[in-house]
Amino acid sequence: VDGVSNIRYRETVKEIAERLLNSSGVIVSSHIEPDGDSIGCMVAMWRALRAKGINSYLIWEGEIPNRLKFVIENCEITKEEPRDYDTAIVLDSGDLNRLQPAFRNMLKNCRVVINIDHHKSNSMFGDINLVDVESSSAAEMALDLIEELGVELSFDIALPLYVGLITDTGNFSYANTNRKSHLTAIRLISVGVDPYIIHKVLNENKDIKFILLLGDALKSIKLKMGGKIAVIRITSKMLDDNKFDPREVNGFIEYARAVKGIDVAVLLREEDNKVKVSMRSKGKVDVNKIAMALGGGGHEKAAGCEVEGDIDSVERTILNHLEELMGSYK
Ligand SMILES: [Mn+2]
């Protein structure tokens, strides 16, 4: 980000640092259905505040996917309401509905709610909102704040941030990858993060059941709208057949995205009587618009929502929205 918005970004980072240094206690959390970025930046922020001698609590009571458990290892997780806090940091979360109810209730007791995020759909729910859609990850933004606080960057803070950075940029391959994301990586690697070790842990560490489920899902890929859309499905039957935990599903949509000539990839995953929808845009289609229209959100090129109904009807709903939106570009 250059120019005026950059100045405002720096000023907001400074303002947040001042508030944190003057707080009696800080609660830190992130969104439900955690991913590498959300877990990475909440762990890093909590550690950085502690390193600065600021009373801070990592509030989390939900599940962490197995593939990401190493990020939160050795952290003190607070499940009950702490006694002394007046400030909250909410990371990587587009709106309050994405938070765990217990943490959301604690926000009512805070003098200052700090919202640090990079989602286009962010509802600006904070008293201070550091929302930058140009940032590849919330981890990248968290590092700016950590440096502003004057915390010395340690390996234990850098590692979770690096996980956030590479998961949200798809290993520096998505459209959100830019100069700043690489400069952030340099800062993290400089204190001992080993890119290949992290890559092995995240990407070369799959249960064989994951690969077999992927095989089933790949066979479901269909092109729609004259080859402009690729749809991939994960049905309840596929999950049952492979005895696979749906929370460990990750990255399947990349294979739909890889198809030549498509503009948008869509992943549909059955869950009870609803369907989880993920969308990835390779061009100018703003999939966040569709996700928001259906009660979800995200970024211009990566967004998601949950839609009630069976998988065929949800697919039709999504395709109708895409047809309308893509028609409007012509
Ligand atoms: Mn993120």
Distance 237 CA to ligand 1 centre (A): 30
Whether residue 13 is predicted with pLDDT greater than 90 in this model: the reply is: yes
Close Cβ partners of 129 (under 8 Å, ≥ 6 residues apart): 12, 115, 117, 122
Distance 320 CA to ligand 1 centre (A): 28
The pair of structure tokens assigned to 288 is: 């966040």
Position 112 scores a pLDDT of 98
Position 313 scores a pLDDT of 97
Distance 330 CA to ligand 1 centre (A): 31
Give the pLDDT mean for 262-273: 96
Q: CA-to-CA distance for 45 and 39, rounded, in angstroms?
A: 10
Residues with CB under 5 A from ligand 1 (ion): 37, 92, 138, 168
Per-residue pLDDT tens for 166-177? Answer: 999 999 999 999
Count of residues making up the chain: 330
Distance 138 CA to ligand 1 centre (A): 5
Helix (H, G, I), strand (E, B) or coil at 87: strand
State the DSSP code for 46: H
Distance 304 CA to ligand 1 centre (A): 13
Q: CA-to-CA distance for 180 and 135, rounded, in angstroms?
A: 8
CB contact burial 14-35 (16+ within 10 A = b; e otherwise): eebbebbeebebbbbbbbeebb
Question: Does the pTM of the predicted model rise above 0.75?
Answer: yes
pLDDT band at 3; cut points 50, 70, 90: low
Helix (H) or strand (E) holding 181: helix 179-189
Distance 143 CA to ligand 1 centre (A): 13
Per-residue pLDDT tens for 212-265? Answer: 999 999 999 999 999 999 999 999 999 999 999 999 999 999 999 999 999 999
Position 82 scores a pLDDT of 97
Q: CA-to-CA distance for 292 and 173, rounded, in angstroms?
A: 25
Distance 116 CA to ligand 1 centre (A): 10
Per-residue pLDDT tens for 48-107? Answer: 999 999 999 999 998 999 999 999 999 999 999 999 999 999 999 999 999 999 999 999
Distance 22 CA to ligand 1 centre (A): 27
Whether residue 1 is predicted with pLDDT greater than 60 in this model: the reply is: no
Distance 56 CA to ligand 1 centre (A): 22
Distance 137 CA to ligand 1 centre (A): 5
